[in-house]
């Protein structure tokens, strides 16, 4: 597999996963133009996209879905509740339901959907696997549930939520209600909670960890990386490469 986060954060989220020249998107939270521009930076295009898998209905995850799906005539996969609670596509025939704990086979990939805790109608995250490799994209969650634990344990590559530094959030400019929402079980994981999840549940098969969905106001890549590295070093058997997905530019095109 080749994988890349085209961008991750409150301004947009989109993940590109390719297998043998066929590819899928997890979310399409940028405009179609922006997605094409980002793909060109990693030497890819939309011509081989076979499907768009949606995690939930927030605009930073669905902004470009309608145009991309109709331009490319490709299917969209979302839970029934997600599709009901937002506008995904003018062509309703392109929208396909996916259920929690369901696995679909597309583009030579097994794409599995799992329920998560977030303030949306029926939010899910995805794990993508081939015969020998497994990637999980786990962001936009307020607590570490059993689904998160089981997929963290079994993944060799993770894009994982590391939204905010707790001290920066508490002392920052956000109003009280928004701070409480972010810290709630329907909000976002802090650097500390995210790193503790990896420390406690990741296995030695985890080779690469990409910290994702960092807050622009309440976090920095340096602080997120430092938090993770300081905690994970407690496990001698756990030595993944750790990097950060930025909000405004693609990551490297990783191969696993």
Identify which of 95, 97, 92 has the alpha carbon closest to the alpha carbon of residue 75.
95
Above pLDDT 70, what percent of the chain? 100
The per-residue pLDDT for range 106-155, each reduced to its tens digit, is: 999 999 999 999 999 999 999 999 988 999 999 999 999 999 999 999 99
- Distance from the first to the final alpha carbon of the chain: 5
* pLDDT level of residue 164 (50, 70, 90 thresholds): very high
| Mean pLDDT across 68-97 | 98
Residue 76 in this model has a pLDDT that exceeds 90:
yes
Identify which of 235, 157, 222, 167 has the alpha carbon closest to the alpha carbon of residue 196.
235
For the sheet containing 49-53, what is the strand order? 95-97, 76-78, 49-53, 22-26, 14-19, 2-7, 254-255
d(CA 224, CA 139): 15
Residue 43: burial class (beta carbons within 10 Å; 0-12, 13-18, 19+): exposed
For the sheet containing 157-161, what is the strand order? 103-106, 109-115, 124-129, 134-138, 157-161, 208-212, 241-244
SS3 125: strand
The H helix count followed by the E strand count for the chain is 9, 14
* pLDDT level of residue 105 (50, 70, 90 thresholds): very high
Q: Quote the pLDDT of residue 144.
A: 98
d(CA 147, CA 10): 23
Q: Quote the pLDDT of residue 216.
A: 96
The per-residue pLDDT for range 16-66, each reduced to its tens digit, is: 999 999 999 999 999 999 999 999 999 999 999 999 999 999 999 999 999
Q: Quote the pLDDT of residue 131.
A: 84
The per-residue pLDDT for range 227-240, each reduced to its tens digit, is: 999 999 999 999 99
- Strand locations in the chain (E): 2-7, 14-19, 22-26, 49-53, 76-78, 95-97, 103-106, 109-115, 124-129, 134-138, 157-161, 208-212, 241-244, 254-255
* DSSP H stretches of helix in 142-250: 146-154, 166-171, 176-183, 191-201, 221-232
| Mean pLDDT across 78-95 | 98
Q: Quote the pLDDT of residue 132.
A: 82
Domains of the chain: 2-255 (3.60.15.10)
Q: Quote the pLDDT of residue 198.
A: 98
Identify which of 166, 120, 112 has the alpha carbon closest to the alpha carbon of residue 137.
112
pTM: 0.97
Above pLDDT 90, what percent of the chain? 98
DSSP 51: E
d(CA 159, CA 138): 6
CB atoms closer than 10 angstroms to residue 220: 15
């Amino acid at each position: 597999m080749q994988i890349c986060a085209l961008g991750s954060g409150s301004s947009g989220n989109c993940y590109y996963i390719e297998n043998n020249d066929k590819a899928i998107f997890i979310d399409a939270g940028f405009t179609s133009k922006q997605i094409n521009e980002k793909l060109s930076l990693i030497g890819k295009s939309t011509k081989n996209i076979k499907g768009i898998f949606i995690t939930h209905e927030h605009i930073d995850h669905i902004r470009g879905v309608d145009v991309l799906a109709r331009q490319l005539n490709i299917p969209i996969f979302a839970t029934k509740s997600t599709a009901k609670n937002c506008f995904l596509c003018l062509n309703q025939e392109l929208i396909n339901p996916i259920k929690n704990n369901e696995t679909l086979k597309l583009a030579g990939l097994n794409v599995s959907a799992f329920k998560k805790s977030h303030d949306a109608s029926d939010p899910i995250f995805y794990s993508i696997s081939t015969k020998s490799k497994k990637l999980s994209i786990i962001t936009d969650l307020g607590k570490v549930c059993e689904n998160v634990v089981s997929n963290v344990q079994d993944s060799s590559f993770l894009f994982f939520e590391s939204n905010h530094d707790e001290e920066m959030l508490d002392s920052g400019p956000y109003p009280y209600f928004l701070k409480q929402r972010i810290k709630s079980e329907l909000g976002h994981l802090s650097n500390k909670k995210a790193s503790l999840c990896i420390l406690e549940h990741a296995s030695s098969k985890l080779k690469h960890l990409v910290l994702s969905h960092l807050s622009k106001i309440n976090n920095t890549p340096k602080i997120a990386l430092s938090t993770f590295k300081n905690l994970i070093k407690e496990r001698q058997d756990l030595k993944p490469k750790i990097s950060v997905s930025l909000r405004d530019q693609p990551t490297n095109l990783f191969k696993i």
